[in-house]
Amino acid sequence: MKNLSSVVVLLFLFAWTAAAAADKIDVNTAPLEDLVKIIHIGEVRAKELISLRPFSSLDDLARIKGIGQAKVEDIKNEGLAWVGHEEKLAEIKPQLEKPEPVTYPPGIVINEILPSPEGPDETEEWIEIFNQNNFEVNLAGWQITDTEGATKTYTFPRETQIGPEGFLVLSRPTSKITLNNSGDGLNLIQPDGKITDKVNYEKAIRGQSYNRVDSKWTWSNALTPGSTNTIPAPIKEIEPSREGIKAPVSEEEVEEVLPKRGLAALGEQIPKETASFPPFLAALFVAIFSGTIILTLKKRVKNLDLLEK
């Protein structure tokens, strides 16, 4: 659309200048016999004018010897001289072709880093970039740099693409960036010099990566270069089962279980209960005792009868 508008403007200017050429004298193209018709321009100045071409505007005629600003104003007011369309177009063409300002999408972030791998740092360190957008982004000209110690800046080469919601992993041999184990930081920089994302960490944990989780960062032993970060859930401490272990019983609980009449105050003894004689045994004893007496009496009576006889 912008190119079409520029073409329309150029065509309009060309048509306008062509129409004006019939009535005016183009100081950049007119012959000597026409130039001398312009006020304050005689044959001598006309020859000098031709040698000084091209002129970018009528004000530029002040370069001619003897033509000051006052005479330039007279030439303008006369309305006969003008600057040809080629120079005029050359003057406005840079404005028409001025590039639109470049904008860079947000959502390109540092997502995970491995400063202290289990293996050699020189070959196994890496940095992961994540595109949060649902469209592809060209990272050409973007930069990433560390902030501590002997810093190094890596510039993404031309046609470096990162897909929608995609990952890009930079190994240390590729980026030449050293992630210090004692602590370091990284800045992600747009081609216009704006820092669009950053991360800092203190002492690195060996074998663990530093992960972006929402807007926070955390260490994890689950390394996920080129994929979604995974943070293992913390292990919960399980209390040992108390099954089979008898807990101390309170005095109140004892009172609920045992008859209250069998309880003694703390420090007292529970008196023994006197054993009672079963009633049926007492009756049996009385019956036996009574029977024995009766038998004894009968035996004595029988003996007395025998004696009397």
Q: So what's the pLDDT on residue 267?
A: 42
* Number of other CB atoms surrounding residue 6 within 10 Å: 14
Domain ranges for the chain = 2-96, 108-220
pLDDT in the model for residue 215: 82
Q: Which pLDDT score is estimated for 251? A: 53
Report residue 196's pLDDT band, with 50, 70 and 90 as the boundaries.
Answer: very high
- Is the pTM here over 0.75, yes or no? no
- Give pLDDT, residue 108: 96
Q: Mutual orientation of helices 85-96 and 2-21 as an angle, nearest 10°?
A: 160
What are the C-alpha distances in Å from 206 to residues 148, 176, 181? Answer: 19, 20, 8
What is the rounded CA–CA span in Å between residue 286 and residue 251?
Answer: 47
pLDDT score at 19: 52
What is the pLDDT, as a whole number, of residue 207? 95
Across 184-212, average pLDDT: 95
Mean pLDDT of 147-170: 94
pLDDT at site 271: 46
What confidence score (pLDDT) does residue 141 get? 94
Using 50, 70 and 90 to split pLDDT, how confident is the model at 218? very high
Confidence tier at 266 by pLDDT (50, 70, 90):
very low
Q: Is the pLDDT of residue 188 over 80?
A: yes
More confident residue, 14 or 63: 63
The stretch 259-264 carries a mean pLDDT of: 44
Q: What is the DSSP string of 96-158?
A: HTPPPPP---S-EEEEEEESS-SS-HHHH-EEEEEE-SSS-EE-TT-EEEE-SSS--EEEPPT
pLDDT of residue 265: 42
Q: Per-residue pLDDT averaged across 34-43, rounded?
A: 92
Query: Is residue 209 within 8 Å of 110, Cβ to Cβ?
Result: no
Please confirm whether the linkage preceding 54 is cis (ω < 30° from 0).
yes
Choose among 126, 182, 193: nearest CA to 150.
Answer: 182
Distance (Å, whole) CA 163 – CA 286: 113
Classify each residue of 135-145 as buried b or exposed e, where b means 16 or more C-beta atoms within 10 Å of its C-beta.
eebebebbbbb
- According to CATH, the topology of domain 108-220 is Immunoglobulin-like (2.60.40)
pLDDT, position 15: 55
User: Which residues make Cβ contacts (< 8 Å) with residue 305, sequence separation at least 6?
Assistant: none
Question: Of residues 91 and 219, which shows the higher confidence score?
Answer: 219
Q: Which CATH architecture has domain 2-96?
A: Orthogonal Bundle (1.10)
What was the pLDDT predicted at 308? 55
Question: 187: pLDDT confidence band, cut at 50, 70 and 90?
Answer: very high
Question: pLDDT category, 94, cuts 50, 70, 90?
Answer: low
pLDDT, residue 276, reads 53
CA distance 76 to 89: 19
pLDDT at 281: 67
Number of other residues whose CB lies within 10 A of the CB of residue 100: 6
Q: Which residue has better confidence, 90 or 51?
A: 51
The Cα–Cα gap between 128 and 126 comes to 7
Please tell me the distance from the alpha carbon of residue 147 to that of residue 141, in angstroms, as a whole number: 19
Ranking 51-65, 67-81, 178-192, 274-288 by mean pLDDT, the lowest is 274-288
> How high is the pLDDT of residue 291?
72
Per-residue pLDDT, 150: 86
